[in-house]
Each structure stands twice: as C-alpha cells, then as structure tokens.
Structure 1
Amino acid sequence: MFSAILIEKGDAGPQVALTELDDTALPAGDVTVTVEYSTLNYKDALAITGKSPVVRKFPMVPGIDLAGVVTTSDHADWSIGDAVVLNGWGVGESHWGGLSQRARLNGDWLVPRPAEFSARQAMAIGTAGYTASLCVDALLAHGITPDQGEVLVTGATGGVGSVAIALLSKAGFGVAAATGKPGEAAYLKGLGASTIIDRAELTAAGKPLQKERWAGAIDTLGSHALVNAAAQTRYGGAVAACGLAQGMDLPGSVAPLILRGVALLGVDSVMAPKPRRLDAWARLARDLDADAIDAIARDITLGAAIDAAGTLIDGTVRGRLVVDVNN
C-alpha cells in the first residue's frame, strides 16, 4: 500500500483526497519508482482545484515532477537503485504522477538525478527550474550575451522566475526582475537581480514599439506582459516565452519582430527531447548553488498539497513548494 493524492471525477467538479492505494492500481509502465519528493506546480494546482481541465483521464494522481529511486525495471537504461528525476511527459495529466509514494512510468521519460543534488534539491528545482534552464539555453543559443544589456524576467518571484534569475546572474547577465510584490526585492536581489521593476509596467496594453530596454527576456506570464517585453527588447534580441500566468492570448503586434529583428522563442518543457533535458539539468548542476536552492524552496507534506493548491493559484506563493511524499 502507498499514499497518494487521487483526483476523481464528480458531478460538481473534481473530488480530491489523500488516499491509500495498492500497487495493483498503478498504471502500466516498465519502471517503478519509489518517490522521495515531488513538487506543487501551477499545473498541479490547476488539476487539484479544477480551475482548468488539466486532467485528461480519471482517476488521476497529479504531480508533473518526481524524484526517487528505481525499485523495479524492465527498461534497458535503468537498474534497481538508480536515482532518477521526471519532469512532464503528460504525467499528472494523462498518466499518474508524482504526488504519491509510488509511481510506475515509461523509462524513456526519466533522466538521471545529477549527483550534485539530493532528491529534495532536485524537486526544489523541479519543472520550474528545468524550464528556466531551457529558457537560458534558448537565449544563449540565439547569441544573447551579457555585454548586450540586461535580461528581463517576468513572474520573478515564481519558481521559473526565481531560478532564471539565479542562472542568468551566474552566466554574467544583469537581470531586471519584474514583480508585483515590492516586499520581495531583497529576495530577488539575493538571487542575483540587478534591477527590480513593477509588474504593472508590463501587464497593461502598450505601444507596439517601446523604448529599447532589454537584451532579451524570459517571460512566464504571456498576454500583455509578453507583448510588452518584446516591444521593449533591443534590436536583434530575443524573448523566451514559457508561461501563461497572465493569459494565453497574445494581444500584440509583429512590429518588434519585423522592425527590430526580435526573436520570439517558444520554450516547451513537457515534451522536450532527452538531449535538451540533459543539457538543462547539466546547467543547473553546474550553475545553481545550494544557497539559491534553499532560498527558493519551502517544504510541505503530501496532505498539505491539497490546500496549498489554492494558495498557488492565488499567486501568493514565493518560489517553490517541495512536497515530502513520505510525511
């Protein structure tokens, strides 16, 4: 038997409970993992609260992230005792996920946990940090360099934003952190932000072309924030877009793209191929220090994740929520 958060379909919306399940309930897969830690991400919060139809099939164990140890394997790449990490691949949406003490998975979805990180640290990073690393890789691959100016990060106190600031700072960039929480300025500067700006400067409709301010940007919000970030990016710069916390719409103009040569780089973390995942985790292992991880993360119990989902939706959570599934 093992504990898990289970979402079942109800007439009035999803029914969510911490429950005990038998191993025979686990879905098909060629690797079984004893989960040590998971996380609570925005997508998990949407699934648990029912605010968005994230769950594709019921019943469902949410949790798009997990870190643990392989206990059985019929996959050539994995042996009993291997320390692994999983991010995305539809886990927690169409396949049972990580908010559980046990998971059965497709071995192709797993990557080795970097030796530099404990299971808890890997989940303090989680999909948010892994996505941030993908975004930094995308900007660097486009040719953005520190001498070109500051990089803007929206949603700066969130999980993606927090890790992005730390990674960009480590890579030598000046970082402008956009936040609606002025009281978190010390936290953001501690991660490496050089400038703090009010999120309100970005979240309303703006002109198609604005004053050139940024060499590049990492946007987690979408909607007007993404449009304004592009409109403020310097000639030849790039914006890595990875989120939709403000909205899925793109109410803007092609002007920055065709008049300033600004590139819009879409960054997907869910289905990213394994080589890109390995590169992202290698950057995290190399450039993200333990102090930054500790500053970003807070631990909660498996049962507490249900109530915490509403708080995360409300936007009042700073950094990352690490779920100790065995507590």
Structure 2
Amino acid sequence: MEKFLALVVEEINGEIVFEIKQISEKELSEGEVLIKSDYSSINYKDSLAVLKNGGVIRNYPMIPGIDVSGEVVSSQSDQFQPKDKVIVTSYGLGVAHTGGFSEYVRVPASWVVSLPKQLSVKDAMIIGTAGFTAALCVDGLEKHGLSENKEAHILVTGASGGVASLGIAMLNKLGYKNITALTRKKESAAVLEKLGASNVLLLDEFIPEKIRPLGKQEYDFVLDTVGGETLSAVLPLISYGGSAAICGNAGGINLKTTVLPFILRGINLLGIDSVNTDMKKRLTIWDRLATDLNITEQALVAEISLGQAPEIFTSLQKGQHIGRTIIKFD
C-alpha cells in the first residue's frame, strides 16, 4: 500500500505536537481488519487528545479519533469481507490504538460493527460515539420508567454539545413532550428548540448561590453530560423515584451531594460508559440508532476535511462548539 494521510500526535522534548503527515500501514496498530476510512467525527475527547496532560493519550506517537466508518479492505476474520461497510467506535480507538483521523484504520475484529442497512457511512459518523452515548442514556432512562410517561419532565445538561443535542433530538423523536435544555450558550436557544427542547435554561441563571440538600422536585429524569457543579445542583431537584443518566465530566469529576435525594426521594444515578459496552448491547443500541433513534436528518452537523480538524479542537476546548462535526475522507 502506498502512503496515506493521518493526523499524528507526538511528544517532542516534553511537548505535545500534532500534524497531518504521510504514514504507512506498518505505523498502524495491530488488528485483523483493515478499513479504508470514509468518515470520522470529532468529539470533546478527541480535542483533549492533542493537549499536554489532556488525560487521553499516554503513549506516543498516536493517531487520535475515537470514531470511524468505512469499507473493509482486508480481513483475517470470517466475520468481515472486503467491501463490507463497517463502524468502529470507542474501545481503545484513538487512545491506546491508532484511531480514526487516518485514511486507513486497522483494528481487532471484535471492535467492528457491521453498518446497519438503514444507515449510510456518513449517518454513522453523524451519530458516532456521541450519538451512541446519548442512545445508551435514553435506553437506560427508559428502562427506569421513562418509557411509561411521555409527559415526564426531562432535563438535558450541556445541551449544545454533541451527546446532549443528539439526546434531545432522540427524546423528541420518541415523543417526549417536556424537555428542558440547560446550556451556557444563549445563542444556541433557537437551535435547541428546533431539535425538540420545549424550554431552554441558561446555566448561570440555573446554578444557585448555595446548593441545598433538597430542593423543589422539578425533573423526573435527567440526561447529564457535564458532571461537577452542574450535576451537584441537579440532583436535589429530581422528583421522587426519578433517575439521572450521567455520561460526562466536562464540568469536573467532583460531585458534591448528600444521601438525602437517594434515601428520601429514592432517585437513581445511572452511570453510562460507551467505551467498553459489550458487543451484544452495542449491536442492540446500533439497531435502535438505525430505527427509532435515528435522528441523522435532525442533527446539527458540519462536514469538514481532515486539515480543518485543528480549528474544531480549539472550539471544543474553549466550549464554543455546537452540535456535531464530521470529517470526510476523499
């Protein structure tokens, strides 16, 4: 194979640098399936991967990119054949294993999902890890009572981000009527309402000066992508028997709360992890993403080239990014 382009992160003299360069197949991590990339997507985690002390990559050089969709070039596994359309998200991709910001990707066969027939390779990356995570949250909340009440009051935090914005669209598609979007970005209100939010709250008006152990019961269910102070302020407001699905820590990893919401209101805290989801569950969720949770037509998405990726890293790091950005490979 001739050389091809990839975004490579390296450590040079104690500093982290990255550039788009030509590499060869031998520079890819090991695996049974070689994929020609059609699309990748840029997640908040990817923006941290190019930073010193970003907490994502530990061994260099590395190709980031936790998502990819494309066509199988060669396979040592009977599960996949050349020309099969496939998806890979999470596991060690773009973290400990060369990832999706490359024209070719090689991965273990156990990481690969066959593209559902209802989706295109572009659709798969509009969804990507962000949509997969949002779907896990929605699925978890439904299993804890949400599916029984279309009138439930639902709060979605970090609403302009990839996971949350797709989550809002999914909840709206499923017919939930009362979706409150919590965001720092006043300018995103119209977009969030278009996605399906019935109400938009600004974070600086939402966080009280002092968080009380218990507050008014305002939300039956919560999809939290932020963590930290935001989640700390939300937990006292969850109604009796309600649940919060938590999947992010952009607002910090510390949680300040008391046992009172749990023992006096019986609320549930549902931890959501998309990285190591077992394949049986993964296939079930992708089936939903291709059918009842398919929001690819509603999603706010921008398409760029690999060379434009650094601009998106910066906007994500500054908290200025809205929606989803996908990379198209020629």
What TM-score, normalized by structure 2, do the two folds share? 0.94
* Structural mapping, 1:1-327, within 5 Å: 1-144=3-146, 145-147=148-150, 149-173=152-176, 174-203=178-207, 206-286=211-291, 287-293=293-299, 296-326=300-330
Deviations 1:155-189 (A, max 9, x none): 11110011100111122212111011122221111
- In structure 2, what is the Cα distance between the partners aligned to 1:212 and 1:201? 18
Partners of 1:49 and 1:309 within 8 A in 2: no
Deviation at 1:148, TM superposition (A): 5.5
Cα RMSD of the aligned pairs, angstroms, is 1.4
Instruction: Give, in whole Å, the separation in 1 of the partners of 2:253 and 2:114.
Output: 33
Q: Which runs of 5+ in 2 are unaligned?
A: none
Cα gap change, 1:41 to 1:289, in 2 (>3 Å): closer
Q: Residues 224 and 252 of structure 1 are in contact (CA less than 8 Å); yes or no, is this contact kept in structure 2? A: no
CA contact (8 A) 1:99 1:325 kept: no
Supply the distance in 2 between the matched residues of 1:41 and 1:104 (Cα, whole angstroms): 20
In structure 2, what residue type is equivalent to 1:14?
I
**Quick one: distance in 2 between partners of 1:290 and 1:132?**
13
> Conserved in 1, the CA contact under 8 Å of 2:49 and 2:55?
yes
Query: CA separation in 1, counterparts of 2:79 and 2:205?
Result: 48
SS of corresponding position for 1:190: helix
Pairwise CA distance, 1:56: 2.1
Residue identity opposite 2:278 in structure 1: P
Is the contact between residue 297 and residue 322 of structure 1 (CA under 8 Å) also seen in structure 2? yes
Alignment check: 8 A CA contact 1:43 1:54 kept: yes
- Stretches of structure 1 that go unaligned for 5 or more consecutive residues are none
1:121–1:50 distance in 2 versus 1, CA, 3 Å: farther
Report the Cα offset of residue 288 of structure 1.
Answer: 2.4
Query: Deviation of residue 99 (structure 1)?
Result: 0.4
**Percent identical:** 37
Instruction: Note if contact 2:170-2:295 (Cα within 8 Å) is conserved in structure 1.
Output: no
How many pairs are equivalent?
Answer: 324
Structure 2 CA distance, aligned partners of 1:172 and 1:230?
24
Q: Deviation digits for residues 117-174 of structure 1, max 9, x if unmatched? A: 2211211111001100000000011122334621100011110011100111122212
For residues 320 and 150 of structure 2, the distance between their equivalents in structure 1, rounded to whole angstroms, comes to 34
TM-score (norm 1): 0.95
Pairwise CA distance, 1:291: 2.6
CA contact (8 A) 1:31 1:73 kept: yes
1:48 and 1:306 in contact (8 A); partners too? no
Offset, 1:203: 4.6
1-structure distance, mates of 2:166, 2:276: 20
Report the 3-state secondary structure (helix = DSSP H, G, I; strand = E; otherwise coil) of the residue aligned with 1:271.
coil
Shift of 1:35: 0.6
1:325 Cα deviation after fit: 3.0
Write the distance in 1 (CA, Å) between the matches of 2:108 and 2:308.
28
Tell whether the 8 Å contact from 2:127 to 2:296 is kept in structure 1 after alignment.
no
Deviations 1:63-116 (A, max 9, x none): 000001111111121111111111100111100000000011001011112222
Change (3 A) 1:53 1:289: closer
Moved over 6 A (4+): none
